[in-house]
């Protein structure tokens, strides 16, 4: 069985397959998880804590996620469109959902170079 990400607090627990996560955005002391079925879930953890959970629970399988700056963790499988000058990054499965987020130009440039390097 493929590894699942488990995010547990003292009162609740979220168990989700990594590929069902489109991205996670920072919201102060909380984080918002956007799922591929369109659902949003508020998590009472900061983004850095969730990053640690992904690394410790998923190990090398966690490399489908990329931390972008202080505010985003994205699922690289859904990267559809990068526009550096407009600072836009669109995450989509090109059929049922499309989410556009913003990031710094430098971060998007590095992301673009990473993807270009991987396809060589």
Partner 1 sequence: MMKEQKEIRDDQIRVLGEVEPQGFFERYKWIILIASAVVVAVGALLLVLNHKKQQADTVHEPALFEPVTTVEVVTDVRKKLGIAVDSLAAGFTELRDTLINDIPLRLYIPHNADMSLHIGRMDKSDTSVVYVAQAADVRADNGGIVGAFVLKGVPRAWGLSKKGFCASIDGKVTVGVAENSPLFEQATEREGYFFRQYPLVKDGAVVDNELKGKAIRRAVCDRIGEIFMVETGTPESLHDFAQALADLGVDQAIYLVGSSAYGWAVDATGTVHEFGEDNYYKGRRRMPKNTSYIVWRRK
Give the interface with partner 1 as residue ranges (CB under 8 A).
10, 28-30, 44, 46, 48-49, 51-56, 58-63, 65-71, 73, 76, 103-107, 110-111, 114
Min. distance of Cβ 45 from partner 1 in angstroms? 8
DSSP string computed for 25-42: EEETTEEEEEETTS-EEE
| Rounded CA separation 101/99 (Å) | 7
CB within 8 Å of 56: residues ≥ 6 apart: none
Tell me which residue of 58, 62, 15, 49 sits closest to 35, measured CA to CA.
15
CB nearer partner 1, residue 14 or residue 58: 58
Least distance in angstroms from the C-beta of 90 to partner 1: 16
Q: How far is the CB of 110 from partner 1 (least distance, A)?
A: 5
Nearer residue to partner 1 within complex by CB, 8 or 38: 8
Cα–Cα distance measured from residue 38 to residue 52, given in angstroms and rounded to the nearest whole number: 25
Shortest spacing between CB 2 and partner 1, in angstroms: 14
The smaller minimum CB distance to partner 1, of residues 49 and 83, is found at: 49
Q: Which is nearer to partner 1, 38 or 86 (CB)?
A: 86
Determine the Cα–Cα distance for residues 112 and 95; give it in Å rounded to an integer.
Answer: 22
């Amino acid at each position: 069985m493929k590894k699942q990400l488990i995010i547990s607090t003292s009162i609740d627990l979220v168990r989700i397959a990594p590929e069902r996560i489109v991205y996670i955005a920072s919201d102060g002391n909380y984080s918002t998880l956007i799922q591929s079925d369109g659902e949003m879930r508020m998590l009472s953890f900061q983004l850095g804590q969730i990053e640690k959970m992904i690394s410790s629970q998923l190990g090398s399988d966690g490399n489908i996620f990329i931390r972008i700056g202080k505010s985003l963790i994205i699922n690289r499988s859904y990267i559809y469109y990068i526009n550096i000058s407009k600072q836009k990054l669109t995450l989509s499965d090109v059929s049922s959902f499309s989410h556009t987020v913003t990031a710094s130009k430098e971060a998007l440039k590095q992301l673009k170079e990473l993807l270009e390097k991987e396809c060589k």
